[in-house]
Amino acid sequence: MTQRRDGWRAPILQHFSEASAKAGRLTVVSDPDELLTEPGVVERLAARGFELITFGDPVAFRYAYESRFRQHWDRGEATHLVVVIRTNHGDLKHIPHDLLEEARESGRVLSFSLVHLFPSLAPNVVAELDPQQFDALSYALEHAESGNLGTNATRDFVLRHVFEIAPELIKQPADLLRVLLRRHYRAQVFPESLDARFIEVLRQSPKWRSWPLERILPDREAFLMFLGERWPGFLLSKGLVAVPGRDPAGPSISGPMDLPFDHDDVRVYMDNLFVEGLLEPTATVRPIDDEHWFGVGIAGSPASSFEGRFFHLLDELGGTIPSADDATYQEWQAYSLRWGTWVRLRWQTQPDRDTASEAAAVAFVERVQAAFSTWLLRRFGPMSTLPYLPRPVLGHHVPHYLAHHLGQAGTERVALLVIDGMAIDQWRILRDTLDGHHIDEHAIFSWIPTLTQIGRQAIFSGRIPLEFATSIEGTHREPVHWSNFWQDRGLPERAIRYVKPQGNNESLEPLTADILGAAGDPAVRVIGAVIGLIDQSMHQVGLGTSGLHGLVEVWSRTKQLVGLVDALLDRGVAVFITADHGNVFGRGFGKPDVGVTAQQRGERAHIFRNKDFRDNTALQYPDAVAWPQIGLPQDYFPLLAPYGACFMPEGKEAVSHGGIALEEVMVPFVRISRPR
């Protein structure tokens, strides 16, 4: 791989040649800026024979080290371990002495930092960026004569070359709206200092002083509200007829009321915001039947109907499927939220669509699932090393993220509601009931295989599956995991509460009462709870995904979830919602006769304790996926059914989970709060 292609990674990778992998078995790296955990670095190191392990919890590290590496070394197997510690080079005292001495004897104690990789830029600014953005930064430095830049000059350089924002070119409202629409449509998260710098530069012109930049620049929900409050006025200015008695309410967000929604650079985003449900069509003007583009933003117009949105989004998503080869995990996160909206629309409109449109939908789904599964097989391993900030990426990141924010303004107390088995399309149904709330949402990856005992334990323990190997077959250790996680971070036991999930066929009311009882105790600071309604329903429903959607629709209309959320907010508790895995429909393609050789025999996943047993069974099902042991115990070998199939007799059907379909792996991670 060439120096040019490696870019900013080249100074790191030069220390990890294939020859050095063979020469020694251990490297210790001080990595305060978390450079070695970037997926591109991990992938390249793996190709050269190096395997990374991050030093965090000493007990978990020792278990992983002994089970994954020490045994191989004792058998004389060639495996080169890279121990990464997120601390400065001079502070390696927490690394086990035997490992540190061995690495020192072979000259394999290394240190990397942003200061050495980007010496011409202000390191405090670069440190705020996501490592995924370093490629654009490195390319820009290679092609621009920047010289040594101070703090503000570095911020300006990053805004221009990484985020493609040139403040001096923003001269008209359409220019600013285009920048904000592109950012918020992609759900991009900017460092606070860059937002402050951008606002500072804009404020130098009197033109932008009436704009509520401090609200609509960093806050996606506030920006969408800003647009939605001005949309009816735009339609009335076009000569559309107002509905008597439905005058639009006054704006809750100050700023100019006349926005250029029909400008080409703005319009291209606006219709997608309505199609994807991010903006609500207005009922203040009469529906229109013609082909005007803004019909999608008018309630009752054909373009804003479920069917109209289904076809519009089908075209949009069909042309933007992330690459199976080189997409980033952020691209799949963003795509999955839009995917969830389309999947919901698909099942809403299916009874009224013809066979040709359904065939087009099926073909599209197969394209997406093929790209996603191929990407996962290539990229899930490197992704498992990512840090949990600025946002969680994998399920086990969730409690770490909550712990980072606990005690900050607005998150003095937190409740995590894990809706067992909730796919991202079912979240889109529940989201509609939370109208009027501030919703900060993105998607995270479930651990694979997407089984309850793996996904939920990862969430409540903050550990990868390898680290809870002794309890991987069940969920009985969840209360202990949750309590241990928080006690390890200094909370007393009385401040921690795990609420036992309701059993099969039990109503939600007792669970809600238990959650609110915990919230009513001022000593309790963290609450973890499982809501099992969707997971229990999927194993009972006999009408496929559309039937499950119907049950979720019924549940959403009871307002039980929104009632629980409001009651928690009333008690001063910050509310977060996620899921351990999703679900997908599949048809039986045969049930393996594995007897006692399989430890678990599910519809979408079979788990074997012996690799030969798994591989022999895989020969009978050539389309099945022999999932690699990424983050899994050494005696845990999954065989996953392909998309659209289940390990069931032919002719049987089920909505289930365990595999790597997009709806199984990608789940929401949401914070719900009061409008600001």
Q: pLDDT tens across 647-668, in order? A: 999 989 999 999 999 999 999 9
CA distances from 342 to 479, 596, 675 (A): 36, 41, 27
CB of 188 closer than 8 Å to CB of 163 = yes
In this prediction, residue 540 carries a pLDDT of: 67
Q: pLDDT tens digits, residue range 253-285?
A: 999 999 999 999 999 999 999 999 999 999 999
379-427 pLDDT, tens digit per residue, is 998 888 888 988 999 999 999 999 999 999 999 999 999 999 999 999 9
Full DSSP string of 613-631: HHHHHHHH-TTSEE---SS
Q: Identify the pLDDT of residue 598.
A: 63
Q: Which pLDDT score is estimated for 542?
A: 65
Q: Binning pLDDT at 50, 70 and 90, where does residue 149 land?
A: very high
Strand partners, 574: 414
Longest CA–CA separation in the chain, Å:
83
Q: What is the mean pLDDT of residues 14-37?
A: 85
Per-residue burial over 85-106, b if 16 or more Cβ lie within 10 Å, else e, is bbbebeebeebeeebbebbeee
List of E strands, 474-551 = 496-499, 526-531
* Dist. CA 615–CA 636, nearest whole Å: 12
pLDDT, position 386: 86
> How confident is the model at residue 2, as a pLDDT?
41
CA distance 284 to 235: 9
pLDDT of residue 498: 98
Q: What is the pLDDT of residues 73-116, one digit of tens each?
A: 766 666 788 888 877 655 777 788 888 888 888 888 999 999 99
> Are the CB atoms for 676 and 409 separated by under 8 Å?
no
* Confidence band for 161, pLDDT divided at 50, 70 and 90: very high
Say whether pLDDT at 626 is over 70: yes
The tens digit of pLDDT for each residue in 168-180 reads 899 999 999 999 9
- The rounded mean pLDDT for the chain is 91
Round to whole Å and give the CA distance between 248 and 568. Answer: 31
| Beta bridge pairs of residue 526 | 414, 496
Alpha-carbon torsion, ordered 619, 625, 630, 633, to 10 deg? -50
Give the pLDDT of residue 3: 42
pLDDT value of position 83: 85
The count of residues in the chain is: 676
CA gap 271, 336 in Å, rounded: 19
Mean pLDDT of 286-306: 91
- Helix ranges, 238-305 (H): 264-275
Confidence of residue 597 (pLDDT cuts 50, 70, 90): low
Superfamily classification of domain 414-583+663-673: Alkaline Phosphatase, subunit A (3.40.720.10)
Please state the separation of Cα 584 from the chain's center in Å.
18
Fold of 3-117: Rossmann fold (3.40.50)
Residue 1 has pLDDT above 60, yes or no: no
Boundaries of CATH 3.40.50 in the chain? 3-117
Give the SS3 label for residue 27. Answer: strand
Domain with CATH 3.40.720.10 in the chain: 414-583+663-673
Distance CA 205, CA 331 (A): 34
Rg of the chain taking only CA atoms, in angstroms: 26
Q: In the predicted model, what is the mean pLDDT of residues 535-548?
A: 80
Q: Phi/psi class of residue 580: alpha, beta or left (left: φ > 0; alpha: ψ in -120 to 50)?
A: alpha
Q: How many CB atoms lie within 10 A of CB 247?
A: 11
* Percentage of the chain exceeding pLDDT 90: 72
pLDDT of residue 261: 97
Contact between 370 and 323 under an 8 Å Cβ cutoff? The reply is: no
